[in-house]
Amino acid sequence: MLFYSTNAKCGPVSFRDAVLRGLADDGGLFMPAGIPVLDPDFLANLRNRSLIEIGVEVAAPFVRPDISQEDLAELIRDAFPFDAPLVQLSENLHVLELFHGPTLAFKDFGARFMARVLSGFRRDSSRPLTVLVATSGDTGSAVAHGFYHVEGIRVVLLYPAGKISVMQERQMTTLGGNIQAVAVAGAFDDCQRLVKEAFQDPELRERTSLTSANSINIARLIPQSFYYFRALAQLQDLSREIVLSVPSGNFGNLTAGLMAKFMGLPVHRFVAATNANAVVPRYLETGIFQPQPSQKTISNAMDVGNPSNFARMLALYKSDPDRMKQDLCGASFDDDQTRSAISELYRIYRYPADPHTAVAYLGLKQFQQNSTKQGIFLSTAHPGKFQDIVEQATGAGVDLPQRLRECLDKPQHSISLSSRFEALKSYLMDHP
Ligand SMILES: *Cc1c(COP(=O)(O)O)cnc(C)c1O
């Protein structure tokens, strides 16, 4: 498959080039030249297909001919030793749990797939690839775990010293191996500036094979389509229409769902569920896209005022809001509503949900007010990652998952650097 830029100012490139570049030369995002429609036999026989089987079928047309069918199957088996289970709460209410990966959040799907794709493309080079990431917390740990022990790659994580939570710091600094955590004396903005400066430094790029694990990389998007098919493979009754609610920030998750629908996923409608950062629901209402400064909420992974994947959504629907509205409706909720939803999910169904999941539940509930269709809402994080908020809202204890508890006891590895670019540059050059 060839990939083109959403800015349409540079020619199409191969899957391999799209992954290695991340962003197109004209600053646009890569999109497949066409969305392949899956084999009708495959779609008709979705029932009980595993995540791995589905992944191979869905990804194959995108990665051909750069990755062979055999390599793809092996890569997917290695990336996904965990599932995306569908839990039924009532006749028309299901939750798709996307938090069974190592960092207990759905970003594991994208990060783990992308890490293995990059590693495969680097197999013949003698030098490791350096993935440089600035993080204010969660992205860093998903990327770090995704690339952990992946051959031919080292990850350098820049985080603002003393400005991230203890748990976030532990998740990044207790891995060791090919993961190097760097505490920068400064703010998150300094970390981002350092990454930018590093990419603009020709000598450094040349010497260290620098790349980013940017969230807009096409290799992070494709695997996010897998679990939509996996959700339907677990549904009892496929004869009734289905609505899917997706808690959204940068809209990568939802874009992957829309792509799945283009591929043939039999879904009636998606709900774009957001917190107070509601630029996409507003676009669906008015046809005008107006980015805003982001607002802080308790579902903070969705505090995005200018969602990066919106360009991809426009590309899918040829910038026609009416066409987009046939597949998608918007919904937005404040923090009080989110807290009440966490409490309600626990009271009625004994289901502990994190704040992002609660926003998706609210979006689905709003849609179902005028419809008897069966619904699935996506759970993007384990409730234990937001222990305080969940315990306050439910009045019940939430277990901290084993994996989070374990990293509290492990030794931390981290180095400290000033926020001057020269310090980072000499560190990277001296430790290739
Ligand atoms: C990143 C994230 C989201 C938002 O996903 P997008 O693809 O950016 O829309 C939702 N929930 C959690 C827990 C996340 O980490």
Q: Please tell me the pTM assigned to this model.
A: 0.93
Atom 15 of ligand 1 has which residue's CA nearest to it?
Answer: 301
User: Do residues 315 and 304 touch, judged by C-beta distance below 8 A?
Assistant: no
Q: Which of 254-263, 395-404, 421-430 has the highest mean pLDDT?
A: 254-263
Task: For residues 264 and 37, give the distance between their C-alpha atoms in angstroms, rounded to a whole number.
Answer: 6
User: Measured on CA atoms in the order 390, 395, 400, 401, is the torsion positive or negative?
Assistant: negative
- Provide the percentage of residues in the chain whose pLDDT is more than 90: 74
Atom 2 of ligand 1 has which residue's CA nearest to it?
Answer: 301
User: Do residues 271 and 364 touch, judged by C-beta distance below 8 A?
Assistant: yes
pLDDT tier for residue 402 given thresholds of 50, 70 and 90? confident
pLDDT tier for residue 432 given thresholds of 50, 70 and 90? low
Task: For residues 88 and 349, give the distance between their C-alpha atoms in angstroms, rounded to a whole number.
Answer: 10
User: Measured on CA atoms in the order 187, 205, 222, 272, is the torsion positive or negative?
Assistant: positive
Asked if pLDDT for residue 136 goes beyond 80, the answer is no
pLDDT tier for residue 164 given thresholds of 50, 70 and 90? confident
| Residues with active-site annotation | 107
Asked if pLDDT for residue 174 goes beyond 70, the answer is yes
Q: Which of 107-121, 156-170, 198-212 has the highest mean pLDDT?
A: 107-121
Q: How far is the CA of 385 from the centre of ligand 1 (A)?
A: 13
Q: How far is the CA of 136 from the centre of ligand 1 (A)?
A: 14
Q: Which of 220, 222, 253, 299 has most ligand 1 atoms within 8 Å of CB, for mutation?
A: 253
Task: For residues 325 and 350, give the distance between their C-alpha atoms in angstroms, rounded to a whole number.
Answer: 34
pLDDT of 243-279, one tens digit each?
Answer: 999 999 999 999 999 999 999 999 999 999 999 999 9
**Least confident stretch, 19-33, 282-296, 395-409:** 395-409
Which is the closest atom of ligand 1 to the Cα of 248? 9
Task: For residues 144 and 43, give the distance between their C-alpha atoms in angstroms, rounded to a whole number.
Answer: 34
pLDDT tier for residue 123 given thresholds of 50, 70 and 90? confident
Q: How far is the CA of 425 from the centre of ligand 1 (A)?
A: 32
- Provide the percentage of residues in the chain whose pLDDT is more than 70: 100
User: Do residues 88 and 256 touch, judged by C-beta distance below 8 A?
Assistant: no
Q: How far is the CA of 383 from the centre of ligand 1 (A)?
A: 14
Q: Which residues form ligand 1's pocket by a CB distance below 6 Å?
A: 105, 107, 138, 247-253, 301-302, 356, 380-381
Query: How buried is residue 262: exposed, middle or buried, by Cβ count under 10 Å (0-12/13-18/19+)?
Result: middle
Q: Which of 136, 218, 250, 310 has most ligand 1 atoms within 8 Å of CB, for mutation?
A: 250
Which is the closest atom of ligand 1 to the Cα of 356? 11
Q: How far is the CA of 66 from the centre of ligand 1 (A)?
A: 29
Residue 432 corresponds to which tokens in the numbers above?
A: 């290739």
Q: Which of 29, 99, 100, 106 has most ligand 1 atoms within 8 Å of CB, for mutation?
A: 106
Task: For residues 15 and 34, give the distance between their C-alpha atoms in angstroms, rounded to a whole number.
Answer: 13
pLDDT of residue 340: 98
Q: How far is the CA of 211 from the centre of ligand 1 (A)?
A: 22
Neighbours of 430 (CB within 10 A): 7
pLDDT of residue 208: 85
User: Do residues 311 and 253 touch, judged by C-beta distance below 8 A?
Assistant: no
**83-103+221-398 domain in CATH 3.40.50.1100?**
yes
Q: Which of 356, 361, 362, 389 has most ligand 1 atoms within 8 Å of CB, for mutation?
A: 356
Task: For residues 299 and 275, give the distance between their C-alpha atoms in angstroms, rounded to a whole number.
Answer: 7
Residue 89 corresponds to which tokens in the numbers above?
A: 């709460």
Asked if pLDDT for residue 196 goes beyond 90, the answer is no
pLDDT of 52-81, one tens digit each?
Answer: 999 999 999 999 999 999 999 999 999 999
Which is the closest atom of ligand 1 to the Cα of 99? 13
Query: How buried is residue 149: exposed, middle or buried, by Cβ count under 10 Å (0-12/13-18/19+)?
Result: exposed
Which is the closest atom of ligand 1 to the Cα of 256? 7
Q: How far is the CA of 40 from the centre of ligand 1 (A)?
A: 31
Which is the closest atom of ligand 1 to the Cα of 252? 7
